[in-house]
């Protein structure tokens, strides 16, 4: 017998989506549903909770097959709009990473550098339908005689274009401050000296992995909203760390799980994939991701009912500690506190600013909800699970 009162299968939920009966709410709306109905009541009522996040996500990029030339070429070095791509895969397959700057970028020589254009911008330009300039160099072989090629092409001209992000959707992230005496420019933004501002980067209660903290439903093969198209979770992301410190609700209080995601770039849109320039740090890409979570039982209802008040993160010093690999924090704060605009660090009030868009995260969750209700999007059952840890609400409440 099952340990749960409510038990639904993916097939049952999909059948309800198909018949137009499925009840779908966003992760924000679910907070109130669980408060009012309790986990069992909520699980009976709700079939799917949609989540979303839209933020700068390093460890993103795309594979392209740019088509052969005559004579044929085995490209060894490739640049797209002067941004180097990795070509050591085959003849005309390349991987273009989001954080790769243009080859002649002055970087941080004039500090803090501007990093005006990079791999993320190339990907955005391509999905926006713009032409890009590709240059390749090669050594000749008997089967691939060409030694160089230059061509202009659009995304439609690419034989194959796959967004493939080895680490996205970090489940929780540090709140960054700077306790040093000088301004620092980090991937967490500009941090003023002596702890005068704090930046954080998570959609909180809307964020996918914070709503499925133990990876019960998000796993290999989960169908998701990715960059405006449909994508899949294909593996746990790099640096995935289920062992991170967790609260009684199972939600990690430190950077923990991550997802590797993939999808056909040709379906995606520049609205949900944006090249970014982070002053003093480099280029990257903002990626929009939405994950539907099936409410299989009351445990999933309780997980998805989590609110910003119940999600905590640590305050980390990026002026000195982070760069020097010092594992130390300056206390914990909840996302409700972070979103209020002010937190307290070592007895001092500090203004907060987000780097992750709540407005767009909500828009993604709403879009996903709409496509499920319109029977355009069905849930997929993972074929395998991410590495996780043991957890149950019963044990944690004892």
Partner 1 sequence: MYTRIYKLMFPKEASDQPIIYRLVKQYDVQVNILRGEITPQHEGNLILEFKGEADKVRAGLAFLKEQKIGVELFATKVSRDEEQCFQCGACTGACPVGALHIRRTDMAVLFDPEKCTGCGHCVRICPVKAMNVSFDQLARVAS
* Dihedral sign of CA atoms 50, 54, 60, 66 in order: positive
Residue with tokens 């600013």: 353
Q: How far is CA 394 from CA 70, 147, 299, 389, 397, in A?
A: 66, 65, 10, 15, 5
Query: Of residues 40, 128, 190, 345, which one binds partner 1 by CB under 8 A?
Result: 190
Distance CA 87, CA 52 (A): 33
Question: How many CA atoms, within 13 angstroms, populate the side-chain half-sphere of residue 206?
Answer: 27
- Closest to partner 1 by CB, 216 vs 360, is 360
Residue with tokens 């993103």: 60
What is the DSSP code (8-state) at residue 2?
Answer: -
Q: And the tokens for 228?
A: 């405006």
Tell me whether residue 149 is one of the annotated catalytic residues: no
Q: Is 180 in the site for partner 1 (CB under 8 A)?
A: no
Q: Is 189 in the site for partner 1 (CB under 8 A)?
A: yes
Q: Is 274 in the site for partner 1 (CB under 8 A)?
A: yes
Q: Which stretch binds partner 1 (CB under 8 A): 2-10, 213-221, 347-355, 368-376?
A: 347-355
Please answer whether residues 292 and 368 qualify as being in contact, where contact means their C-beta atoms are separated by less than 8 angstroms: yes
Q: Is 354 in the site for partner 1 (CB under 8 A)?
A: yes
φ/ψ of 274, rounded to 5, equals -130, 130
Between residue 307 and residue 346, which ones bind partner 1 under the rule CB under 8 A? 339-341
Burial 69-93 (b: 16+ CB within 10 A, else e): beebbbbeebbbbbbbbebeeebbb
Strand-pairing partners, residue 218, are: none
Q: Is 351 in the site for partner 1 (CB under 8 A)?
A: yes
Distance CA 303, CA 298 (A): 9
Q: Is 107 in the site for partner 1 (CB under 8 A)?
A: no
Q: Is 199 in the site for partner 1 (CB under 8 A)?
A: yes
From the CA atom positions of the chain, what is the Rg in Å?
Answer: 22
- Closest to partner 1 by CB, 111 vs 159, is 111
- Closest to partner 1 by CB, 11 vs 353, is 353
Quick one: which of 251, 244, 249, 214 has its CA closest to 386? Answer: 214
- Closest to partner 1 by CB, 354 vs 382, is 354
Q: Which stretch binds partner 1 (CB under 8 A): 33-41, 48-56, 67-75, 80-88?
A: 48-56
Q: How far is CA 256 from CA 35, 146, 242, in A?
A: 26, 47, 6
Query: Of residues 45, 131, 253, 279, which one binds partner 1 by CB under 8 A?
Result: 279
Query: Of residues 27, 31, 276, 295, which one binds partner 1 by CB under 8 A?
Result: 276
Q: Is 197 in the site for partner 1 (CB under 8 A)?
A: yes
Q: Is 55 in the site for partner 1 (CB under 8 A)?
A: yes
Q: Which stretch binds partner 1 (CB under 8 A): 99-107, 211-219, 278-286, 313-321?
A: 278-286
- Closest to partner 1 by CB, 162 vs 336, is 336
- Closest to partner 1 by CB, 121 vs 223, is 121
Q: Is 223 in the site for partner 1 (CB under 8 A)?
A: no
Quick one: which of 107, 123, 118 has its CA closest to 281? Answer: 107
Q: And the tokens for 11?
A: 């097939």
Quick one: which of 172, 184, 175 has its CA closest to 249? Answer: 172
- Closest to partner 1 by CB, 209 vs 276, is 276
Q: How far is CA 67 from CA 70, 132, 201, 349, in A?
A: 10, 14, 38, 56
Query: Of residues 177, 355, 365, 379, which one binds partner 1 by CB under 8 A?
Result: 355
Q: Is 358 in the site for partner 1 (CB under 8 A)?
A: yes
User: Of the residues 143, 164, 175, 201, which is catalytic?
Assistant: 143
Q: Which stretch binds partner 1 (CB under 8 A): 7-15, 37-45, 52-60, 207-215?
A: 52-60
Q: Which stretch binds partner 1 (CB under 8 A): 128-136, 161-169, 356-364, 369-377?
A: 356-364
Tell me the catalytic residues: 143
Which stretches of the chain bind partner 1, using CB under 8 A?
54-56, 189-190, 197, 199, 274-279, 284, 286, 339-341, 351-360, 362
């Amino acid at each position: 017998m099952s340990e749960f009162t409510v038990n639904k299968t993916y097939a049952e939920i999909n059948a309800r989506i198909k018949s137009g009966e499925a009840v779908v709410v966003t992760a924000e709306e679910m907070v109130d549903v669980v408060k009012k109905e309790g986990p069992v009541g909520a699980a009976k009522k709700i079939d799917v909770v949609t989540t979303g996040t839209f933020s700068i996500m390093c460890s993103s990029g795309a594979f392209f097959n740019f088509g052969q030339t005559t004579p044929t070429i085995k490209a060894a070095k490739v640049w797209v709009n002067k941004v180097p791509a990795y070509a050591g895969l085959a003849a005309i397959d390349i991987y273009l990473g989001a954080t790769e700057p243009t080859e002649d970028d002055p970087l941080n020589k004039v500090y803090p550098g501007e990093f005006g254009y990079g791999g993320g911008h190339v990907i955005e330009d391509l999905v926006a339908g713009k032409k890009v300039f590709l240059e390749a160099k090669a050594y000749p072989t008997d089967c691939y005689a060409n030694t160089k090629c230059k061509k202009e092409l659009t995304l439609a001209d690419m034989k194959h274009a796959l967004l493939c992000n080895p680490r996205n959707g970090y489940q929780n992230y540090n709140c960054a401050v700077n306790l040093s005496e000088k301004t620092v420019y980090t991937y967490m933004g500009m941090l003023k000296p002596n702890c005068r501002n704090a930046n954080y980067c998570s959609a909180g209660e809307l964020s996918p992995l914070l709503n499925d903290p133990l990876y019960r439903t998000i796993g290999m093969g989960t169908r998701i909203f990715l960059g405006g198209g449909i994508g899949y979770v294909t593996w746990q992301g790099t640096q995935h760390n289920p062992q991170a410190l967790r609260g009684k609700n199972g939600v990690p209080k430190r950077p923990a799980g991550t997802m590797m995601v993939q999808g056909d770039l040709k379906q995606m849109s520049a609205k949900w994939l944006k090249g970014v320039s982070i002053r003093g740090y480099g280029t990257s890409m903002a990626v929009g991701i939405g994950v539907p979570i099936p409410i299989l039982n009351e445990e999933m209802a309780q997980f998805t009912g989590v609110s910003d008040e119940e999600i905590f993160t640590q305050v980390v010093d990026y002026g000195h500690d982070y760069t020097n690999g010092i594992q130390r924090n300056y206390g914990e704060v909840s996302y409700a506190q972070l979103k209020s605009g002010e937190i307290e660090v070592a007895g001092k009030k500090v203004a907060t600013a987000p780097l992750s868009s709540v407005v767009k995260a909500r828009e993604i969750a709403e879009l996903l909800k709409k496509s499920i209700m319109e029977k355009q999007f069905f849930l997929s059952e993972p074929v395998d699970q991410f590495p996780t840890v043991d957890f149950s609400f019963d044990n944690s409440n004892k």
